[in-house]
């Protein structure tokens, strides 16, 4: 009974955390865009525009969901719901603190990758079910991108599993130790290429969350609005919420695997506040990159993965195995 109450309390806390992040990361994005472009961003609804997300949410909920005449109604209605399922479920396995995790799994890392793959499928379903040629092209692009970048991302994660000997996310954090030089990004005693592995994982996280310069699933300059061109109201809202949820998940996983998770960089007071600081710093880097670099070409995006990231990841995997075996 106590376990059930504890799990329900965690789920309510996660729902509140997720809701706040989905609402206000959009505000952070728009404010960041304003500052990078030398303008103010949202400012009229509430102080500093802080009530703008609430106004946007009410507006989306009040809009009628119109199904296009050429759409496959079942697929069209299913896609926005399907894309939110993994975005919500994955938060169950994320250890925000040593004892602040709803459910600790021995195979938590494998679970993260398994559920994350559903996101690309839901984008394809949304693009196909819309009955719009631009949405279909965007869906096909998004799937090609996800397949290309999941491979080096997964290979890099296998490096971490080889070094730590565990797929338990909390155990991976525990083994990194308290101080910054014990984090996996700087663990040169296990692999000399760990800083570059972090960079590969970070680039793949950008691509997996469909963020600029890898937003081939949207690509407004070529495909109107991409896979969600035909969506309005809360259908569009769910796609946007899933994007920000995946952004939080990607930055959380990067923090866990490479930046010590809830460990303190100076060895004192480890806890959830350190995890959140690292996670939000990475999120800000994502926003910074989006409004700094232009969108790449589609073939350039695929060439980066298939010609450079995947070969490097395979070589890095072999070198890590050799390093562990020898030393």
Residue pLDDT, tens place only, 2-43: 767 776 777 777 778 888 888 888 888 888 888 888 888 777
Tokens of 240: 């946007």
pLDDT at 148 over 70: yes
What confidence score (pLDDT) does residue 59 get?
80
Q: Which of 248, 244, 275, 87 is nearest to 170 (CA)?
A: 275
> In sequence order, which residues have a C-beta less than 8 Å from that of residue 188 and are 6 or more positions away?
194
Tokens of 87: 């975005």
What confidence score (pLDDT) does residue 256 get?
92
Burial of 318 (0-12, 13-18, 19+ CB in 10 A): exposed
What confidence score (pLDDT) does residue 221 get?
64
Q: Enter the DSSP assignment of 257.
A: H
Query: What's the pLDDT band for 1 if we cut at 50, 70, 90?
Result: low
Instruction: Tell me the CB-side half-sphere exposure of residue 82, using CA atoms within 13 A.
Output: 17
Contact 136, 121 (CB under 8 A): no
- pTM of this prediction? 0.89
What confidence score (pLDDT) does residue 192 get?
74
When pLDDT is averaged across residues 120-142 and rounded to a whole number, the result is: 80
When pLDDT is averaged across residues 77-96 and rounded to a whole number, the result is: 82
- Dihedral of the alpha carbons of 44, 60, 291, 297, in degrees to the nearest 10: -160
Q: Which of 177, 202, 215 is nearest to 29 (CA)?
A: 215
What confidence score (pLDDT) does residue 116 get?
80
Alpha carbon of residue 215 to chain centroid:
13
pLDDT digits (tens, 9 = 90+) for 154-208: 999 998 998 888 888 888 888 887 788 888 888 877 777 888 889 999 998 888 8
| Helices (H) then strands (E): counts for the chain | 12, 0
Tokens of 215: 């937003």
Q: Which of 212, 219, 190, 252 is nearest to 17 (CA)?
A: 252
What confidence score (pLDDT) does residue 278 get?
92
Instruction: Specify the range with the lowest mean pLDDT, choosing from 126-140, 214-228, 236-250, 289-303.
Output: 214-228
Query: What's the pLDDT band for 281 if we cut at 50, 70, 90?
Result: very high
What confidence score (pLDDT) does residue 220 get?
67
User: For the chain, first and last CA: distance in Å?
Assistant: 48
Q: Enter the DSSP assignment of 295.
A: P
Q: Can you give the residue ranges of every domain in the chain?
A: 1-62, 71-326
Does 213 sit behind a cis peptide bond, omega within 30 degrees of 0 on the bond before it? yes
What confidence score (pLDDT) does residue 261 get?
85
What confidence score (pLDDT) does residue 255 get?
93
What confidence score (pLDDT) does residue 201 get?
92
How far lies 125's CA from each of 4, 233, 250, in Å?
Answer: 35, 18, 22
pLDDT digits (tens, 9 = 90+) for 223-266: 677 777 888 777 788 888 888 888 888 899 999 999 888 888 88
């Amino acid at each position: 009974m106590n376990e059930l109450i504890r799990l329900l309390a965690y789920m309510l806390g996660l729902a509140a955390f997720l809701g706040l992040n989905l609402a206000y990361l959009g505000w952070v994005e728009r404010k960041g865009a304003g500052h990078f472009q030398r303008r103010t961003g949202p400012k009229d609804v509430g102080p500093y525009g802080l009530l703008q997300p609430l106004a946007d949410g009410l507006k989306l909920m009040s809009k009628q969901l119109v199904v296009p005449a050429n759409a496959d109604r079942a697929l069209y209605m299913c896609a926005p719901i399907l894309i939110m399922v993994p975005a919500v479920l994955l938060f169950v396995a994320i250890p925000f603190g040593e004892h602040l995790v709803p459910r600790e799994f021995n195979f938590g890392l494998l679970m993260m990758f398994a559920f994350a793959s559903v996101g690309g499928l839901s984008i394809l379903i949304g693009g196909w079910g819309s009955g719009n040629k631009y949405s279909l092209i965007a869906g096909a692009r998004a799937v090609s991108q996800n397949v290309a970048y999941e491979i080096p991302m997964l290979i890099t994660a296998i490096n971490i599993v080889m070094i730590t000997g565990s797929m338990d996310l909390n155990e991976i954090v525990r083994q990194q130790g308290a101080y910054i030089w014990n984090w996996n990004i700087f663990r040169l005693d296990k692999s000399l290429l760990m800083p570059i592995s972090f960079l590969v994982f970070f680039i793949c996280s950008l691509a997996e969350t469909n963020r600029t310069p890898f937003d081939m699933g949207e690509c407004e300059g070529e495909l109107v609005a991409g896979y969600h061109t035909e969506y309005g109201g809360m259908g569009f809202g769910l796609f946007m919420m899933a994007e920000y949820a995946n952004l939080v998940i990607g930055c959380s996983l990067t923090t866990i695997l490479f930046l010590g998770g809830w460990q303190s960089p100076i060895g004192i007071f480890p806890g959830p506040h350190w995890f959140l600081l690292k996670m939000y710093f990475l999120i800000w880097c994502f926003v910074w990159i989006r409004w700094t670099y232009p969108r790449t070409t589609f073939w350039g995006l695929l060439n980066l993965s298939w010609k450079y990231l995947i070969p490097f990841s395979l070589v890095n995997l072999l070198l890590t195995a050799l390093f562990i075996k020898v030393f």
